[in-house]
Amino acid sequence: MLLKSGENISLRSAPGEVLIFKSSKFHFQEMHLDLKNELGDILLRITFRTEKKRIYFKDRASKSLGDGWGKEHSAGLGFVSGGSATITVHNCSTASSSGSNRYQILVNGTTAGLFDSRISGSWTNISYTNKLITREQTMVEGASGLTRQLGIQTEVPGPSLDVFSYKISELLHEEQQALE
């Protein structure tokens, strides 16, 4: 399944499943992947910020007395923007667990972090936002004859992602061992 920046797709999950995002060219300054339930809660938001070389995790309740955002957790970013990458989200929750969900996030097969969401349920919708910001310098001559340099900033959508969903039992044994 192909997921374009700014697009939402419907995809259901269950405990023990993995969601895989692949791109031959991950290029971004800031990128969000949101896994939402049927109520509109964000069970897991994954944010990559290349300028800080960090990956962030948080959740958001759609119904809240405040803004709904939970505590943000972060880890070092294990790859550099511009190369190929695979992001895997493992729903480590068990069918019998109550309360929160636990997610393992892997980047290129290495665990980047574990996140305990305050919100229970399975994701039913996935959205992706990736804006590339290009900056150009332009020389402009003013009415007084003075020349000055102007910076022009343009946002363009990032590349599309290939999205796959599997049960852990469908993966190779060595891949299963990388998952908690």
The residue among 161, 104, 95, 105 whose CA lies nearest residue 129 is 161
Pick the most confident of 78-87, 123-132, 136-145: 123-132
Query: How does the average pLDDT of the chain come out, rounded?
Result: 81
Residue 55 has pLDDT above 80, yes or no: yes
CA distance 143 to 177: 67
Domain count, the chain: 1
Tokens of 149: 């340099």
Check which CATH number belongs to the domain holding 30 and give it: 2.60.120.200
Comparing C-alpha atoms, which of 96, 26, 103 is closest to residue 58? 103
Span 15-39, pLDDT tens digits? 889 999 988 776 666 788 999 999 9
